[in-house]
Amino acid sequence: MPNIKSAEKRVKIIEKKTAQNKAVKSKINTYIKKFKIALNNKDIEASQNAYSDVVSLLDKAACDNVIHKNSANRKKAHFAKLLDNLKKENQN
Rounded to whole angstroms, the Cα distance separating 63 from 49 reads: 21
DSSP 2-62: -SSHHHHHHHHHHHHHHHHHHHHHHHHHHHHHHHHHHHHTT-HHHHHHHHHHHHHHHHHHH
Give the model's pLDDT for residue 1: 81
Which pLDDT score, from 0 to 100, does residue 91 have? 84
Render pLDDT for 59-81 as a digit per residue (tens, 0 to 9): 999 999 999 999 999 999 999 99
Q: How confident is the model at residue 86 (pLDDT cuts 50, 70, 90)?
A: very high
Question: How many domains does the chain divide into?
Answer: 1
CATH number of the structural domain spanning residue 64: 1.20.58.110
| Mean of the per-residue pLDDT values of the chain | 96
Task: Print the domain residue range for 44.
Answer: 5-91
pTM summary value: 0.88
pLDDT at 11 over 80: yes
